[in-house]
């Protein structure tokens, strides 16, 4: 498969395929006749895996670790569990921070509603409780 073909099958842009290729996440072979990258079903699987892992919140460094272990006999279940556990802890922290931010914003909006004209100004943002 050429870049456009694998991109269509994975529902990504050709630029995404090229980016992941530069990052070493894909392993195309070169067509000796024209130097084009040729991708196979393993590359398609890896591309789809990267997209799913990204949606789960794993960064490229973490995905590289998972994939590199996969080519060296497989990532041990305990290692994979640790990666997911660490990511879950980070998500919990992010959720706490987002909830705090939401509560702060709600409080600010309530203060603004109590203002005579209901319009915030620079001081009301800084002076909120």
CATH of the domain at 39: 1.10.1660.10
CA torsion through residues 114, 115, 119, 124, sign: negative
Q: How far from each other are the two terminal CA atoms of the chain, in whole angstroms?
A: 60
**The last residue of a domain, from among 34, 50, 74:** 74
Q: What is the pLDDT of residues 101-111, one digit of tens each?
A: 999 999 888 88
Q: What is the pLDDT of residues 44-94, one digit of tens each?
A: 999 999 999 888 888 898 888 888 775 545 556 777 788 888 889 989 999
Provide the residue range defining the domain that includes 90: 76-129
Task: Give the Å distances, CA to CA, from 102 to 65, 89, 106.
Answer: 34, 20, 6
Mean pLDDT of 110-123: 74
Share of the chain above pLDDT 70, in %: 84
pLDDT for 65 equals 83
pLDDT for 50 equals 92
In a shared domain, residues 56 and 18 = yes
In a shared domain, residues 44 and 1 = yes
Q: How many domains would you assign to the chain? A: 2
In a shared domain, residues 85 and 64 = no
Measured CA to CA, the distance from residue 46 to residue 30 in angstroms comes to: 18
pTM: 0.66
In a shared domain, residues 7 and 67 = yes
**The last residue of a domain, from among 46, 74, 102:** 74
Beta bridge partners of 38: 29
In a shared domain, residues 4 and 67 = yes
**The last residue of a domain, from among 74, 95, 111:** 74
């Amino acid at each position: 498969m050429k870049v456009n073909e694998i991109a269509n099958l994975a529902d990504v842009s050709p630029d995404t395929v090229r980016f992941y290729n530069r990052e070493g996440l894909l392993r195309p072979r070169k067509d000796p006749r024209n130097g084009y990258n040729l991708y196979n079903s393993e590359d398609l699987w890896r591309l789809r895996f990267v997209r799913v892992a990204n949606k789960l919140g794993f960064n490229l460094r973490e995905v590289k670790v998972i994939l590199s272990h996969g080519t060296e006999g497989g990532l041990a279940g305990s290692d994979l569990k640790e990666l997911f556990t660490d990511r879950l802890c980070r998500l919990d922290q992010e959720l706490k921070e987002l909830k705090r931010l939401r509560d702060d914003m709600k409080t600010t909006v309530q203060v603004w509603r109590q203002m005579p004209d209901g319009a915030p100004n620079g001081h009301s943002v800084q002076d909120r409780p």
